[in-house]
Every structure is written in structure tokens, then in C-alpha cells.
Structure 1
Amino acid sequence: MPLCHSPTSAAVAAAASPIAARSGGLLRRSRPAPAVVRCKKLDSLRAINGSPPCIPVPDRSLLTPVTLPVFPDPSMRNDTRLRIFSGTANHSLSQEIASYLGLELGKINIKRFADGEIYVQLQESVRGCDVFLVQPTCPPANENLMELLIMIDACRRASAKNITAVIPYFGYARADRKSQGRESIAAKLVANMITEAGANRVLVCDLHSSQAMGYFDIPVDHVYGQPVILDYLASKTICSNDLVVVSPDVGGVARARAFAKKLSDAPLAIVDKRRHGHNVAEASIIVLYYLFKQCSRLNGCI
């Protein structure tokens, strides 16, 4: 009669065997014999008249094949989760960025009401996607900034995974400190607004001062246009002896000096800039000899 041990007894015996071996066999003699249970299910499978039991096999034609899901290549999944949307400030720049990446701009509806309010609606799903919003806050700064904030809010409410605000021209960047009493620091205020709207990351170009990156409570990517300008100047047939780098004010001397060093240590000139009123500035180049040479003016903002 075929016998089978109960699963509980077998597990206990397997767990206890190393302990019994270390105890020199004393534990085996003192341990009671495991319980034996007769498996009546095996009675029907016993040999009949000396012949082995016959086990029925189902017809394979009745089996339904199961197709396992095939996931796309990880790189393809990443591509489909990337979205680039453009505001109305510089649509051509956004189109060039998307074309360079081999992507198409996301569909978005932006319109303005008669009272000047801005309406934004995404025309495609961004759930779980990495979204990049290209919107410089150039003049009109207030209108373009508000449009960017509403775009960020729309993406956040549409369950986007990550939202990156790409701001080639960051409006209010010059208001990064208090030059007089009772002034606001508008750059910090704008940074707070972008963060509270729902942006997870910001990409800016050539800030007025690098300390403005600290105004954000989210990661900031600060890229520079210097390599592009250097490549452009290198493509021109300009004699190095006729090239001068000019800093527009004392605050830009360090940046202009680094720029001149890349141009084979070109001479450096500094502008004496004085403000006589709102949006009124007077400048005079310190070294007049440089006026007769070709000047590459490196401004505080590009």
C-alpha cells in the first residue's frame, strides 16, 4: 500500500535533522516517530491485474494558447513619455527644439478672452509624462509670465509626472537685489510663483546673476550661450589683433574676462555706465583706442 507523509510532519523532520545530527543521535532516539497518513487517493491509481494505471490526458486541441504581453523597448517607452509644449512667446524656437530632438510639439490650445484673461487647454494626455514647457518671459513680460504659470498648472492638474519650465529669457531677472531701500526683489517673487504653480524643474539661459538660481526651491539648470557665440566668432575671418571684448559695466568684468580668454586672450575694455533716470543710462568706454577696433560686446543678459 503506497504511503505518504503529511506535509507538516515532513517539514518538522527536515528542520530538526541538522539539530539531531549535531546532538550525536540522542535527539533522534528521544523524538517520537512522525505520524503516518494513508492517502486514499492513491488507491484508484494502483495497478489493476498487474497493469499500470491509465491517466487520462486532455485533448490538446481544446487548449487555448495564452499570449504574454510584449513590452516595447525601454528607449521607445521613454520617447513616448516625453512631451514638448510651446507658449505663444516664441513658437519658432520651440519648433526648432522639437525638430532637433526628432519630436513633434504637443497639441495645446491657448487663447485670450476679451478682458485679457488667458485660457490654456492641453489637447493630448500627459499623464505620467515628462513635460517640457518652452516659454520665454520676454516683453510683454507680465502676459508671457502669466501664460507660463497657467500652462504649468494645466500640466499639473493633468497628472504629468515631471514639469520642466524652459525659460530662455527670464523676465525680472535684473531685479535680483535691493539697490535702494523699500524695493522688492521681483526675481525671488517670480521664482516662488513658478514653483507654486507646480514646476518640478527650471531651465534658464544666461541669468543676470548666478545667485538668482538660489531663489528657486526646485532644481535649476543654468545654461550659457557663450559656446555658441564663440563658435560663431571662430567661423568669421576676424584678425585677433582687431578684436576687443567689452564689458557693459563693472559687474560684467568677470564674465567678459573669461570670454576674452577663450578668444586667444583678446584685449578687454570696460564701460563706465551711469543711470540718470528710469530706463536712461549713459555709457562711455574707458579706453578710447578700442573704439577703432571691432568690439564684441558681452552684455549682462543675452
Structure 2
Amino acid sequence: MPNVDEPKIIAGNSNQRLAKAVTRRLSMHRGMNVGLVDARVERFNDAEIFVEVFENVRGEDMFILQSTSNPANDNLMELLIMSDALRRSSAQRITAVIPYFGYARQDRRTKARTPITAKLVANMMVSAGIERVLTMDLHAAQIQGFFDIPVDNLYAAPVFALEIKHAFRGRLDGVTVVSPDVGGVARARELATRIGAPLSIVDKRREKAGEVAEMTVIGDVKDRICVIVDDIVDTAGTLCKAAEVLMEAGAKEVHAYITHGVLSGPAVERVSKSVMKSLVITDSIQATPQVEKAKNIRIVPMAPMFAQAILNIWHGTSVSSLFQPETLEPIYDGMYSPA
């Protein structure tokens, strides 16, 4: 068995930009060129997915970087087939690095005769030979328990805290963190604690799925800079309405920090026309040209965090150390100076 001198990164088609950014960071850390494993992930004429790895991976510690974002089914199948190809090529260990874990919103039975698709996806990944999962801001923490293999769930909150301290330096005393619903209070409280800000909640009631009937602000937001925190922004309808409700309640400004920018359908147009001054997302999902052109959407890079997490897993050291600001600030190379 060969000596495993470097972690080996292979990427599907879902987020090539993030994959290349991660390898650049690894190259900086290791002091040598770390590139993506040479492979092709293509489709036959009937849309079947085909994977061929051109490098020897026998005995290697392999990391597959692939978000299962839109098109979710294609990207998921790419991940599974890549894992099968590596397993059959005698890779020592296969870790799936999934910045955005698709199907995470189907984590429980909400009514009779519905699936728990997140559990099904977990079973498929394990069956394909994946031995460890590295992801970020799972929609529901219990999804980690769907796997019978180790799952490391990174959090965007520590990076968002650095970003907020930088963006609002000199005005941090006027910031209030807002959860867009009761279910997201824990996530919002985590960020509020990190930046030393008060917490408010937008309580929403739905008459039917996809339609919000009423929103009420819990907490004082008058003359405050409101920062809405959530894990996923999809069509942005609820987010934009929450911003309007906060402005009507007397907020000075409204900004949103959302981990996964799904931004489907009319989302970008809604955000561009909304009262929000800015929407900050991560690059867990590769941005479309429309998202990149939007003036009030900003993207925070996650390559430094994922690169360090991959190195920590490869070295067998703590991944949770990345949740601490004293660890993150050097990784981000002074990108965010303290307030």
C-alpha cells in the first residue's frame, strides 16, 4: 500500500469553483501544488452518468467535493457513482464533502404516506462506499443520526460573525439578530451570542404550504440594524416579506445572512427589489450569473474553512476547533479585521 502523502480531492460538476478554491487553499497550506484528481464525469446521450478516474488512487485518502444542489438528482448520482468508482479502485477511505446537502428538508414525516428522503439519501451514500461525510449547516441536526458513519457538520455562523463584525464595525451596538421563524431560534441565538447582539423573532403563520398568512415581530427592532439569519433561502418570498415586516416595525436597515443560496425561480428578482440592503450567502452552491450580477447579493467564501476541515480530517485532528474565532481569523488571512 502506498504512503498517503497528500489528501486527494476529486470533484463532480455541481461546484467546480469551490473545489478549485479548496485545492488552492490546500496548496498554500501544504507548500506544494494540490490539484483536483484527473477524472471525467460525463453523460451519455440518454443522460446516464459516467465516471472515469485517470489517476491511481489505490490506498489514497479520497475526498469527493460535491453539493447536491439543483439539479439535485443528477448531482446526487454523480456523487454516488464517483464513490463507487473510487471504492472499486481500492481507495483507502472515501469522504464525501457536501457543502450543501440536498433533500435535507425532507428529514421527517410531516403527514401520512410521505417519505423521509434524507434518510434514504444517507443509506444510498453509505451503500456507495462513503465512509465519512463533511457538510455545512444541515437543515436539521438530527440528519447526522441518519448515518451509521461519522458526520462532521460545519457551521457558517463563525464566519458570518467575522463578516458582520467587519461590515458593521463602529455600528455593532445597533445590530439585532433576527430569526425568521421560531424553528430557527437556536441558529440565530448562536450568531447573536458570537457578536454580542440582542435577538428578535419573526413569528409566521401559514394557511397552506408555501403561503405565509401573517407575520409578527417578537422583540424591539425600532431604529435597529436587523440581521436575519437562516440556513436556506429558496424562492425568497418569506425572507422578503419578513424584511418588510421588520421595516414596518421601525427597523433602520435589514440585512440577511443565509448559508445556502438556493435562490430558485423569482428569488433573485425578489431580493433585488426588496427593502433588504443586502443578502449575504456562502458559495456552498455555485452562484448563477444572475446571482453574481445582483447588486445587493454578496457571497462569502467557504474554501478556507473546508480546506482546513479536510486537512484536520486527514491529520486526524479536531474539526470542531474551526468553530472558534481564534482559529478562524488566521485561516481567513485577515480578510475580516476585528471590529
What TM-score, normalized by structure 1, do the two folds share? 0.70
Report matched runs for 1:102-181 at 5 Å.
Answer: 102=27, 103-181=34-112
1:254 equivalent in alignment to 2:222: no
Task: Tell me the distance in 2 between the aligned counterparts of 1:112 and 1:173.
Answer: 26
Report the residue type matching 1:256 in the other structure: A
Q: 2:18 aligns with which of 79, 93, 114?
A: 93
Task: Tell me the distance in 1 between the aligned counterparts of 2:205 and 2:49.
Answer: 39
Task: Tell me the distance in 2 between the aligned counterparts of 1:122 and 1:173.
Answer: 29
Q: Give the direction of change, closer, same or farther, for the CA distance of 1:237–1:251 in structure 2 (3 Å limit).
A: closer
Task: Tell me the distance in 2 between the aligned counterparts of 1:281 and 1:247.
Answer: 15
Task: Tell me the distance in 1 between the aligned counterparts of 2:113 and 2:96.
Answer: 30
**CA shift digits 1:268-297 (9 cap, x unpaired):** 111222334444445624148526532211
Larger RCO: 1 or 2 (CA < 8 Å, sep 6+): 2
Q: 2:4 aligns with which of 71, 75, 78?
A: 78
Q: Give the direction of change, closer, same or farther, for the CA distance of 1:121–1:179 in structure 2 (3 Å limit).
A: same
Task: Tell me the distance in 2 between the aligned counterparts of 1:130 and 1:283.
Answer: 51
Give the equivalent residue in structure 2 for 1:188.
119
8 Å Cα contact 1:260/1:268 also seen in 2:
yes
1:245 equivalent in alignment to 2:171: no
Gaps of 5+ in 2: 28-33, 233-258, 260-339
Report deviation, 1:169: 0.2
Gaps of 5+ in 1: 1-73
- Aligned to 1:115, what secondary structure does the other structure show? coil
Report the residue type matching 1:270 in the other structure: I
Give the equivalent residue in structure 1 for 2:202.
271
Q: Give the direction of change, closer, same or farther, for the CA distance of 1:208–1:262 in structure 2 (3 Å limit).
A: same
Q: Give the direction of change, closer, same or farther, for the CA distance of 1:223–1:249 in structure 2 (3 Å limit).
A: same
**CA shift digits 1:242-301 (9 cap, x unpaired):** 21111121111122112111111x121112223344444456241485265322111134
Report deviation, 1:241: 3.3
8 Å Cα contact 2:199/2:219 also seen in 1:
no
Report matched runs for 1:22-61 at 5 Å.
Answer: none
Task: Tell me the distance in 2 between the aligned counterparts of 1:281 and 1:275.
Answer: 5
Task: Tell me the distance in 2 between the aligned counterparts of 1:117 and 1:199.
Answer: 21
**% identical equivalent positions:** 47
Q: Give the direction of change, closer, same or farther, for the CA distance of 1:142–1:283 in structure 2 (3 Å limit).
A: farther
8 Å Cα contact 1:166/1:204 also seen in 2:
yes
RMSD across aligned C-alpha pairs, in angstroms?
A: 1.9
Task: Tell me the distance in 2 between the aligned counterparts of 1:267 and 1:285.
Answer: 17
Q: Give the direction of change, closer, same or farther, for the CA distance of 1:235–1:172 in structure 2 (3 Å limit).
A: same
Report deviation, 1:125: 1.0
Report deviation, 1:134: 0.1
Task: Tell me the distance in 1 between the aligned counterparts of 2:204 and 2:231.
Answer: 13
